[in-house]
Chains A and B, each alone.
Chain A
Amino acid sequence: MEKKAIFELVVEHTCAVIPALKSHLFQPEETLKELGANSLDRTDILDNLMESLSLDIPRVELFGTGNIGELVELLHQYTLKCS
């Protein structure tokens, strides 16, 4: 999947968990934490992303991404690896 499409998925799943962000213009430099997602919210978003991308990898593999752009980059690499 293209990185742009993965970015759109991150936006979609984040808004599903935090509806107040539906009108927000997401930037790759932003972090989910800054946008108001607590640790339980963040794991919900990640779980939904992995399901959408059909990725069966441990969540800990996604730990350490600084911002949304870095998360998209890492997910993209995994989709290439797993396809």
Chain B
Amino acid sequence: MTIAGIEAMNVYGGMAYLDVEALAAHRKLNSHRFENLLMKEKTVALPCEDPVTFGVNAAKPIIDALSQEEKESIEMLITCTESGIDFGKSISTYIHDYLGLKRNCRLFELKNACYSATAGYQTAVNFILSGTSPGARALVIATDISRFIVVDGGEALSEDWSFAEPSSGAGAVAMLIGDSPLVFQTDAGASGYYGYEVMDTCRPLPDSEAGDSDLSLMSYLDCCERSFQEYCKRVISVDYRTTFNYLTFHTPFGGMVKGAHRTMMRKTVKADSNPVAKADPAEIELDFKKRVAPGLTYCQRVGNIMGGTMFLSLASTIDQGIFDAPKRIGCFSYGSGCCSEFYSGVVTPEGQKLQRRFQIEEGLNQRHCLSMDEYEALLKGSGAVRFGTRNVRLDFDLISNLNLSAREGKRLLLEEIREFHREYIWR
């Protein structure tokens, strides 16, 4: 039987970040409320960065590590995003060009809020499992940014913005999907998907978000339970506590995942033969530290990257976890609007070694820490690349400390938008 899953995975967390506690103090947000949110840092996209640059920079190390033959086996490139730059033209076309992939390749883009990367992953996995093109591989790239565009002299802060700003990040996760999936072998068919219409959070305007955090949390928790119930209908003898060595979640912020894990542990214990017993809080806390916390390490440093966040959590688990033997990971993906899925896969010790080649944590450590003045300057500068910009040349010296004009390197940056066409440069 064909197997499928992740052969290689990399995360790109940008070039600049903000300390979220410093942001909260600057915005005078309630510090008590802040403590249980479990957030530390968030990546901030520069105006010369966009979903294309994030996507290419995540995928390039994967492609560079392939042989020419392996590179030419890529026959599908899916971008998964809610940060689209055009209503028709998909980001995958730009990424395909800058990665130098062959033209015998399907290129398209997927959308359903933070569920998009799971949709892309399952599409790619099913392409491999179908065997319609034996030996082919697929590249799935989840790429999202948040830009809070501030007009000079306007009142920037509203109730809605105050909860979204500290948690919204930017980043991309690239995954090579094939039939030698040492990094993460999918449990084919073991999937519980669950979706319906709810207006919890959305992006109804370019560069702007709207939503209700209460409704979103309720919908997330409903889906967490019910997608797992759907999973259990297809897989025998599942035990939430023992079937999965680790659990990864779509992570808007760490506190939400902690709450979801606690809810699931209490509900699944209740389902046992002893309906009166509740899972002990101390037991739940220990379990959280062991099975969930490794997946939060990178999420707490990058913030919510929408579509790719669940895979950011998976990458974090693989890098930070203990894999002295193959281990099964349970994955929960949720996208507002909404759609959710609970699925699982196995990570091998070899897979951990393969992933650690990309030194994701080191990449995050190399980011520049923005001062509040630099951050405010970026907010003002974001208007230059708002959705629909026809012509602009990007200012590489907006944050002089980054010294972008003088760099020599292998990162892609946006240099110019000319008659809506985006042109990039390697720096």
Contacts and interface: CB of A to CB of B under 8 A. Distances in A.
Bind each other:
yes
Contacts of A38: 33, 36
A52 interface: no
A60 B259 contact: no
B218 A43 contact: yes
A25 to B, nearest CB: 23
B219 A60 contact: yes
B399 interface: no
A14 to B, nearest CB: 16
B156 interface: no
B315 interface: no
Contacts of A12: none
A71 to B, nearest CB: 13
Nearest to A36: B32
Q: How large is the interface on A (under 10, 10 to 19, 20 to 34, 35 or more residues)?
A: 10 to 19
B215 A44 contact: no
Interface string A48-73: 00010000001110110000000000
A27 B397 CA distance: 58
Contacts of B239: none
A40 B259 contact: yes
A13 interface: no
Nearest to A38: B33
Interface of A: 38-40, 42-44, 46-47, 51, 58-60, 62-63
25 contacts: A38-B36, A39-B213, A39-B214, A39-B217, A40-B259, A42-B214, A43-B217, A43-B218, A43-B221, A43-B259, A44-B259, A47-B221, A47-B266, A51-B270, A58-B218, A58-B222, A59-B218, A59-B222, A60-B198, A60-B219, A60-B222, A63-B212, A63-B214, A63-B215, A63-B218
